[in-house]
Amino acid sequence: MEFTQQNANQNTIISYDDLTITLSHLKLNTPCFISSNESKELKTFDITEIDKEFLFPLLSKESIDLLIIGTGNSPIFLSPKQQMSLSEIGLGVECMNNTSACSSFNLLLGDLRKVGLLIL
C-alpha cells in the first residue's frame, strides 16, 4: 500500500508490503520499529514477547507516549497482563492491522506526537 503524505525530516512511511516498510529515506524489512527519529529492523518475534524488557532498548533512545503495533492483515491484541505492564511505564499501546497502523503513525507523527510503530 502507498501513502502520499511525506515529510523528509521525519520517518514518514511512504509504502509497505508484507515484507518491507519504505520510509522517506530508507527501506526496512519487517519486523521493525519506527519512531520520529529512530528506525530499526528487529529479529523475528511473537506478540507474546512484547513486555517492558523487550521494549526498553527501543524506547531508551527516544521518549514516546504511544506505541502502535501493526499485527499483519488482522489485529491481534496484547494480553491484559502485557497491557498493564506497559501502562505502568506510562506507555499507551494500540494494536491494529498494518494498514491502519501505518496510517495512524503518519497522522500522529504529522501532529508532532511522541509515537512509535512496531510492525510484526
User: In this predicted model, what pLDDT tens digit does every residue of 34-76 receive, in sequence order?
Assistant: 999 999 999 998 999 999 999 999 988 888 999 999 999 999 9
Judge whether 66 and 92 are in contact, CB under 8 Å: yes
Residue 17 maps to a domain = no
pTM of the model: 0.90
What are the beta bridge partners of residue 22? 15, 27
Residue 60 lies in domain: 32-119
Q: What is the CATH number of the domain that holds 51?
A: 3.40.1230.10
Residue 24 maps to a domain = no
